[in-house]
Structure 1
Amino acid sequence: MRTAIVSGGASGLGAAAAARLRAVDIRVVTVDLTPSADETVDVTDESAIAELVDRVGPVDILVNSAGVVGPNVPLMHTTADDWRRTFEVNVIGTVAMMRSFVPGMVDRGWGRVVNLASIAGKEGNPNLSVYSASKAAVIALTKSAGKELAKSGVLINAIAPAVIASPMNAATAPEVLAHLTGLIPMQRMGRPEEVAELIAWLVSDAVSFSTGAVYDISGGRAGY
């Protein structure tokens, strides 16, 4: 039985991904800040992640879903702390999980990593400059790591969803959600379970010749 770690796995896309992977007999360990997760760990705390590695044992699949939206304000109203806090979770947290779990995958010659980016990282959303920039960084990280490990048996891909009906967007201003939904040709938000289906495919043996790629799941919004 393969083992998967899903960060941000207590709710939203992470919880949907965890449920979908368990349905195909994958052992899933959810990681989040809330006690409802299998492991209560802060992905920005590298010492806590190191302890998690020891507790969990060999991991075959890593889904990096932990993330924050950051401030919904114009760029000129953002602060240095806004940028540091958002990048700490969305980018450095993703890197920390990869640095901790991917080496074991390389040693065993098989692994799958899916990083949750966003269509905002490709197109940029107004009043979400911090979030958009952080997700652009996740995309570049995925492309770089995918090339580095292309011959290792470990495939690293990213998903770029448009706006999804999840708890992560609960604090997003209604007018912002309305604007983002209006950009989607299907004229609706995506559902977590729809994203989970794409994740399940990307971590399966069915995918063998894709790495460093970005998969849009945007209801037709993606322009490139």
Structure 2
Amino acid sequence: MVDPDTSDRGTLEGGPRGPITVVVVDDHPLYRSGVVRTLADDGRFAVLAEGSSAAEAVELARTHAPMVILLDISMPGNGVEAARQIATVAPGVHVAMLTVSETDDDIMAALQAGAKGYLLKGVGADDLVSIVAGIAAGESYVSPGLAARLLVSLNAKGSAPAAAPSPLGGLTAREEQILRLVAQGLSNKEVGRKLALQEKTVKHYMTNILQKLHARNRVEAAMMAREAWQPKQG
């Protein structure tokens, strides 16, 4: 999960890399226009194209190769199916779901399809631009509340994936401390407050943790941690 962090916007702006290119695909024209306007008003983004279906999303990702493509799940053809196809035809594009769905099945399906982000449509404008900028930079985001509930649900069903032998053995004491808090559903900002660390520092630790665990995102890392630590807690 990427926490909204408006304090370091300058590190992601302009320069030799140019604007953050985005495609927005949603079958509700008014909502889609609002998202496009929010991104354009921020100044860091260039919206290359808009669409309203899964088929359009795949074609737009292939032809425009944006840094980020925002997909609605419930649009014609299904956004999750679009994400799966985009992972094949345009693997360099970061997919983020922007949806009203809070169901565990949709969240897991989106992450398994390769989505780097899972945002709810109630997200505020400032948070939206910060999250999308983070996803463009290679970070992942699932809202803390959804991530925590998903972990509880997976553990209740006994469906958390089995961890590799000693998956957490390579973590430092500080990294393990941070991961324990993340596994409880805390955001980067909340972890920083608890440990008296800057949010940027927590993000740096989380990047190292994901690399060491070979986890695609922090939800997966948290599931691995909970599974590994379960015997100690039981």
Q: TM-score, normalised by structure 2?
A: 0.32
Q: Give the structure, 1 or 2, with the largest relative contact order (CA under 8 Å, sep 6 or more).
A: 1
Which structure shows the bigger proportion of residues in helix conformation?
Answer: 2
**Pair member with larger Rg:** 2
